Copies of this chain bind each other. A is one copy, B any other.
Amino acid sequence: MKQTIAAITNGVDVTRMHETIEAVKEAPEAGHFHFRIQNRWVNGGENLSEVRPFTAGSKLIRHKTKLILAADEPDVLLGNDNGANPVEHLLHALASCVTTSMVYHAAARGISIDQVESLLEGNIDLRGFLALDPNIRNGYQGIRVTLRIKANVSDEQFRELSSFGPKFSPVFDSLVRGVPVDVLAERI
């Protein structure tokens, strides 16, 4: 009888993580992920996204619960403040991805982390969105991530730990290097 004892580090099942790595090495198509969300405008600055099933390799996988994400604008940006606004959601996507990437890659290397917090800050000049100055971009001019980490590691390991987010995070990479986005529009 074969027994497998799960090795959990940072809440991550490292045994399963290594199995995933081996599976993707053997069959790269197992690592092809296709994520989807469906958004519906409510009114003004308010809209809702439903996270749709995603594809992992050849499998279509449903989330265990219905995941609805709300967006709205605050009053000063003419909304009703019924949710974080799109650029705040972008900061959340980046924060969560940097943290998870660090936690997972630390687990894979046997580095135990006690605590992670981060503050994300970004500047936007509204003259871009309002098309008041063609030299001012619409998006973030820059984002600062301040990580606070508690881990019983050497200074060298701490620097390595801090590098995992920028080095491995899919959202960090998407934002820093840019992503091609195709937009199609059709009438209802």
A132-B33 contact in complex given A45-B104, A137-B173, C-beta closer than 8 Å: no
Asked if A117 CB lies within 8 Å of chain B CBs, one says: yes
Query: Which of B25, B125, B184 sits near A147, CB closer than 8 Å?
Result: B184
Q: Which residues of B contact A125 (CB under 8 A)?
A: 28, 31-33
| Chain B residues within an 8 Å CB radius of A84 | 37, 51, 63, 67, 69
Residue of B nearest to A183 (CB): B145
Judged by a CB distance under 8 angstroms, whether A64 is at the interface is yes
A interface: dominant SS:
mixed
CB of A119 closer than 8 Å to a CB of B: yes
Residues of A within 8 A of B (CB-CB), count? 128
Contact partners of A89 in chain B: CB under 8 A? 69, 89, 92-93, 96, 171
B78–A17 touching, CB < 8 Å: yes
Pair A96/B86 contact, Cβ less than 8 Å: yes
Task: Report yes or no: B123 in contact with A40, Cβ–Cβ below 8 A.
Answer: no
A151 → B minimal CB distance (Å): 8
B81 touches A63 (CB 8 A): yes
Cβ of A5 under 8 Å from chain B: no
Taking the complex as formed, is A1 at the interface, i.e. its CB lies under 8 A from any CB of chain B? no
Q: Which of B34, B93, B130, B183 contacts A93 (CB 8 A)?
A: B93
Contact partners of A104 in chain B: CB under 8 A? 45, 78
List 7 A-B pairs, minimum CB-CB distance, nearest first: A11-B44, A139-B174, A31-B126, A86-B97, A139-B173, A71-B96, A162-B185
